[in-house]
Amino acid sequence: MHLVQLFLPLRDNDGAAFPRTLFDAVRAELTEVFGGVTAFVRSPGLGAWEDDDGAVQRDEVVLLEVMAMHLDHGWWAHYRWQLEQRFDQDEVLVRAMQVERL
């Protein structure tokens, strides 16, 4: 079994908050495909990274998680690309790890 985590930005590159409907759509899509999703929205994560020019960039992110029996890399690559388009991002972090259900 795999745990897939999606890190979605709360704000666009100009600092404006994304509409809630964007996040609702992602949750609905993941629930339809995987049968459920967990969204950590109360306390946004704070991200920081160094860009190509060496400047530190910061953002707030919402974490969504789904459990998947099989990991379809092609499906996830395409879905990540869709999220990058919707949220107007160079990259949306999506990561997976193998987990054991206890």
pLDDT of the residue at 45: 67
Domain that holds residue 92: 2-98
CATH of the domain at 65: 3.30.70.120
Q: Is the pLDDT of residue 82 over 80?
A: yes
Evaluate if residue 58 carries a pLDDT over 80. Answer: no
- The Cα 68–Cα 10 span in angstroms is 25
Per-residue CA distances from 84 to 26, 73, 93 (Å): 12, 16, 9
pLDDT at 16 over 70: yes
Report how many domains make up the chain. Answer: 1
Has residue 10 got a pLDDT over 70? Answer: yes
